[in-house]
Every structure is written in structure tokens, then in C-alpha cells.
A = this chain, B = another copy of it.
């Protein structure tokens, strides 16, 4: 592969002049510029980003560590992040943690080794020392979706509490009183928040949230399945199950179907995170929708602010309830939101 030296030789100038042309510095004569450009063309020269990064101490690359690539919510987020970053001239390297803290740490470490300019993290656990150290060490960083309390880093996320309250009111209005939740890991902020919001919303209607109605999940389909099986085996099973993410909702659907039961006839189902497929499940699923596109854009904006020395801002966007048919809604309410 041709290097800047080859270009300089071909154009009959020094490497400094080549570099100046490539970086559009002002003081280069038109003649030299033309010869350099011609040489670049005939050699098919492309600057070596590795060498450039070493010298300039910036890679124009952002790291994004997400909890699970197979989760459509996170791929939608990843996509909007990449798009926003590209518009600003940055590339992004995605690390998939698979909800495993040690994998998350692995990715953070290799990303740091590569000297990415900034890091977007949705922590799989609540206290990764790796992440803490990176933040303390001065790596530009912003949390997206989930965060780690006590680490001084901007957070970009959606606030699901009002939407959860809407959901509970909706379920109450449909006559449901026995409501269960499949929670996410207590180590994650979203895992905790959603249970708390649910509990508080229930309390507003004078409803309890017994321990038996809290299933401990890990945001993966299988845990949703197991939790739902336990619910269904209860002497007094819940009337509606609320899954704290879309994958666990999928697992719940599995478990319900395996028992030969039907949604919503035998049991209702609602989910946090809305994804295109929820329109086409049997039945379409009532869900809480997050503005992933805006979330990704805001996260990149905040991170680039940190990188370029501007004061960054935490951003909280609203999530909203999308009513469909999985909780025994009437035809009427169904149609209004389809």
C-alpha cells in the first residue's frame, strides 16, 4: 500500500507538502497542489488512519457498548447512533455485552486500548470498576438508556415512569387487579426503575405488588419464559403480566402458549420497549415505546460535546404507551392505536 512518501516522490515534493494538501492547509502553491492530487490519484493513495491517529492523538471513532445486539431496541439505538456519528465525521465501534458484565468490561478495555475518542455505554451491571476507572481517567463518556449511579457522566435516556403509570391506569380501567411484572436485573437502573414505577403506579390505585408477582428476569427471553411459568403455576395467577423488556415478553408469550393458553383471553401481556414485530404477534402487544432515534442522536451530540470541550447535557426524553390488544382491550381502543 502506498504511503505518503511514495506520493511525495511521485509528485516531486516533500511529505510535508503532501500532508498540507491533504489537510487543505492554505499555504500550498496551485502547482504543487495539482501535482500532489495527481500523484494521489495515480497511486490510489489513502492516508493511513492508524499513523494519523498516533500522531494527532485522535481516532475520530466512538465506542458503543450495548447490552445485547439481539435485542431490537438496542440495534435500533445502535443504528441511530452510527448515523448521527457519521454525520459528524465519526465512526463507531459496537461492543455487544450480551448482558454479561465480564464481556462488557472486555469491550470497554479493548475500546480504550484502541484509543477511541469517546465512549457510549449502556451498562449491563451497576458497578463495573472498568467503567468507573475509564470515567475517572478522563475518557469522554456518556451513559445511554442505563447508567451507573455515583459516576459523574451525562445520561441520555427515556423516562418510562409516566408511561408505566398510564399503562397501569389502562389495565385498571380494563378491570384488571392482579398485575405481575417480570423485572430486569436489579443491577441495572432500568431494571430497578421499571419495577418501582410499576409498584408506585399500583399503589395509586390501592393495589399491592406481592413478591409472588415479581419475577426476576435478566432481560433475555429465557428468563421471561421461566418467570411466566412460575406465575402460571401460582394458586392465584396474575391477570396481566408486564414484561420489563421486549425479549422477556417474547419468552412470556412462549410460556403462555406452551401451557395451551391464549392472550388475552386467559392472561394479559404488556411490554416495555416497542418494536415493529409487536404489531404482528398474536395478538398485537400493548407496549411502552421509547424514542430510539432521538435517543441515539442526543447521546452522540452529548458525547461529541464532551469530546470537543463543550459543556454536555444530560437528556431525558418521554416514553409513551401504545395500546393494542394483548390486555383484553375492546375492539374500539384497539383500533384507535393501531
Measured CB to CB, the nearest residue on chain B to A94 is B94
When chains A and B are docked, how far (Å) is the Cα of A254 from the Cα of B137? 50
- A49, B113: Cβ atoms under 8 Å? yes
- A79, B69: Cβ atoms under 8 Å? yes
Min Cβ gap A208→B in Å is 31
- A48, B82: Cβ atoms under 8 Å? no
| Residue A282 interfacial (CB < 8 Å) | yes
| Residue A91 interfacial (CB < 8 Å) | yes
What residues of chain B lie closer than 8 Å to A69, measured between beta carbons? Answer: 75, 78-79
- B280, A250: Cβ atoms under 8 Å? yes
What residues of chain B lie closer than 8 Å to A47, measured between beta carbons? Answer: 113
| Residue A14 interfacial (CB < 8 Å) | no
| Residue A110 interfacial (CB < 8 Å) | yes
Q: Can you list 7 A-B pairs, Cβ within 8 angstroms, ordered by A? A: A44-B137, A49-B110, A49-B115, A69-B79, A70-B76, A250-B280, A277-B281
Q: How many copies does the complex hold?
A: 2
What residues of chain B lie closer than 8 Å to A276, measured between beta carbons? Answer: 221, 250
When chains A and B are docked, how far (Å) is the Cα of A133 from the Cα of B45? 13
Given contacts A250-B280, A282-B282, contact A75 B79 (CB under 8 A): no
| Residue A237 interfacial (CB < 8 Å) | no
- A115, B75: Cβ atoms under 8 Å? no
Given contacts A75-B70, A114-B49, A281-B281, contact A93 B96 (CB under 8 A): no
What residues of chain B lie closer than 8 Å to A106, measured between beta carbons? Answer: 86
- B54, A79: Cβ atoms under 8 Å? no
Measured CB to CB, the nearest residue on chain B to A138 is B1
A29-68 CB mask vs B (1 if < 8 Å, else 0) is: 0000000000000001011111101100001000000000
